[in-house]
Each structure stands twice: as C-alpha cells, then as structure tokens.
Structure 1
Amino acid sequence: MIFIVYILFSESKNKFYVGFTSNLDERLVRHNQKSKGFTGNVNDWQIVYTEHYPTKELAHKRELRIKSWKSRIKIQELINNKE
C-alpha cells in the first residue's frame, strides 16, 4: 500500500489544506462534501501537490512537518518546485 501526502487548495477560501491518505480520490470526495471541520464548509478543494510514501508513519511524519511550517509562502514554494 502507498500513502500519499497531499496539499489541497480552495479558491473560495483562498487556503491550503495538508493531509495524508491511502486513497486520494475517496479522500477528495469527502473533503468536498459539506460537513464540519476545516474543509467542510466549501466544496471547491483541488489537489495541487502530492508525494508518495511506502509507510503510513513516513507519510504522517511528512504531513506534520509541512503543517509545522505554518507558512503559506513555504507551501507555495514546495508546490512550485515540484512542477
């Protein structure tokens, strides 16, 4: 099984969301359903970045590292450098 660290972007919120999953398609559908939580009140989340990891632990560690930056600029640089 492969685990995916992903970054989503919402145009209407003008915000990024960082997470990880083993099923990105299913996870994106859940993010775009109206529900509670950070991503729940809009439904225009789009995948703008992904990284693949062989274990859940490595993916979670990377997710936490990206979240710890608390910097929109660093996240945008990561996305731009991948392209």
Structure 2
Amino acid sequence: MILPFCVYVLQSEKDLLLYHGFTTNLQERLKNHNKGRTPSTSGRIPLRLIFCEFYLLKSDALRREKYFKTTQGKRMLKTMLRNTLEYVEYPNK
C-alpha cells in the first residue's frame, strides 16, 4: 500500500533553521524548495530533507504538520532529531 500524504522537515544549510511542510509528491516539492519557488524558504536555500512521515489520510498528515508548528511540536522534533541536528551542525564531532 502506498501512503500518499507526506509531512516533512527541511533544514536550511544556510542558517540551520527548520521548515515543516506537507505534500503528496516529496521529490517534486524538494526540487521546488531548492529552486527558490517557495516564498517562505527561497531566502534559505539550499535545504536538505532531515525527516519525513507518510500517512494514508490527508487529515492525519495535516494535523501532524500543524502540530510540528506548535511550540510543543518543535520541542518534540528537536528531541527526536537530536543526533541528526548535532551531526548537521558539527559533522566531525
């Protein structure tokens, strides 16, 4: 079974800030982000994918994306991705 709805987290290689989004075509969405076609991230390219989750239902994916944008969701993501975020910031550590 293919899970069509994706919630993803990108990190700017420029300033290391995170961006949360939703899509049904992750590869195309990443291309658009990195070509500067998304206003909210165009000044922060290049961006790298650091996390994604797939869902069967659009409503579940949108709820998860909304949660990631809350203070509690951001805190949880930083806890979940602690090692990834440290590695990206200090790759030789």
Moved over 6 A (4+): none
State the alpha-carbon separation in 2 of the partners of residues 65 and 71 from structure 1: 5
Query: Which of 35, 38, 41 is 2:40 aligned to?
Result: 38
Number of residue pairs the alignment of both structures matches: 82
State the alpha-carbon separation in 1 of the partners of residues 59 and 72 from structure 2: 21
**Bigger Rg, which one:** 2
State the alpha-carbon separation in 1 of the partners of residues 46 and 15 from structure 2: 9
State the alpha-carbon separation in 1 of the partners of residues 64 and 53 from structure 2: 9
**CA displacement at 1:75 relative to structure 2:** 2.3
Aligned-CA RMSD value: 2.4
Per residue, is there more helix in 1 or in 2?
Answer: 2
Aligned-pair identity in percent equals 32
Alignment partner of 1:60 is 2:62: yes
Per residue, is there more strand in 1 or in 2?
Answer: 1
Instruction: Give the gaps of 5 or more residues in structure 2.
Output: 84-93
**CA displacement at 1:22 relative to structure 2:** 0.8
Report the TM-score when normalising by structure 1: 0.82
The AA in structure 2 aligned to 1:34 is G
